[in-house]
Amino acid sequence: MFVYDLDKGCITSDQLKDDLKAASIIVLLLLKEINIDLETDNLATERNIKTTKQAVSGNCGIYVVEYIEFLSINGPIEQVNDFYMNRWREKMAADIFALDFDP
């Protein structure tokens, strides 16, 4: 599992691996349900070192959304940082507001 950690100083790599142990087992079980067998009992956990440390703890949700968007287009995740945070908040608000008007 590749972990995009915004606050690398919060927990150690060993703590992160321990915290994600159950998730790695569940992911493997879900993959087996759709006939994907990775032939392992445990997924390795790797912490991405390119992620920016967030300045405000309340930004984590927007960071998650932006990481998903950037990863889906193979965008440079290094550009996901606090500099654009206000724009992303406005974009998210506009996207949510627009849902009321979609046919």
User: How far from the centroid of its chain's Cα atoms is residue 44's Cα?
Assistant: 16
**Ramachandran sector of residue 36 (left: φ over 0; alpha: ψ -120 to 50; beta: rest):** beta
Indicate the SS3 state at residue 3. strand
Query: CA-based angle 2:95:80, to the nearest 5?
Result: 35
From first to last of its 103 residues, the chain has per-residue pLDDT tens of 878 777 767 788 888 888 888 888 888 899 999 998 888 877 888 887 777 777 777 788 888 888 889 889 998 888 888 888 889 899 989 988 888 776 6
Question: For the whole model, what pTM was predicted?
Answer: 0.65
Per the CB < 8 A criterion, the answer to whether 1 and 27 are in contact is yes
